[in-house]
Amino acid sequence: MVYNLQTPLCNEEVKKLRAGDIVNISGIIYTARDAAHKRMIGMLEEGKSLPFDIKDQIIYYVGPCPAKPGEVIGSAGPTTSGRVDAYTPKLIELGLRGMIGKGLRDNSVIEAMKRYGAVYLGAIGGAGALIAKTIVQEEIIAFPDLGTEALRKLTVKEFPVTVIIDSLGNNLYETGKKMFRQT
């Protein structure tokens, strides 16, 4: 199936998505890589609020390149999601509904997705320049000292992703292999 979704994502939308579905996202998404995730978890451990309301939001694992003159943002390809797996279950528990990245996820992340209702979405590695064309606005909202890894708020229009792991735990990395494996 192909879905055109507007953020924020509600639980009902997340529940209808299945591994292998194509999704075009429009609205607000946030960016954070490992250093920003570590800081966010530190804030929570200190009893502080996160820099944005994480409920029903999507985090894109990216450290975009600086924008050239006349561009909103530079190349914005996904980073390896496993780098943030240690921090992700807590954010899902707090209401994070979607994550965009590339690569495998830890079992603890998948279990949190199933328990609280979240999806893992894959963006195409190597297509950062094309992905950047779907980003119409960019704003650093926290941790500017982290440079490209600062926490950003992006406004996107028809940002293309594929559901890799759905809220039931169906995993395209596993089912895709089985589909093409010869017996």
Please report which residue ranges of the chain form alpha helices under DSSP H: 11-16, 34-45, 88-93, 107-116, 128-132, 172-180
CA distance 115 to 168: 9
CA distance 58 to 120: 9
β-strands 119-122, 98-101 pairing: parallel
Would you say 101 and 123 are in contact if contact means Cβ atoms under 8 Å apart? yes
Say which of 34, 35, 37, 39 is annotated catalytic.
37
Reply yes or no on whether 11 is catalytic.
no
Active site (catalytic) residues: 37
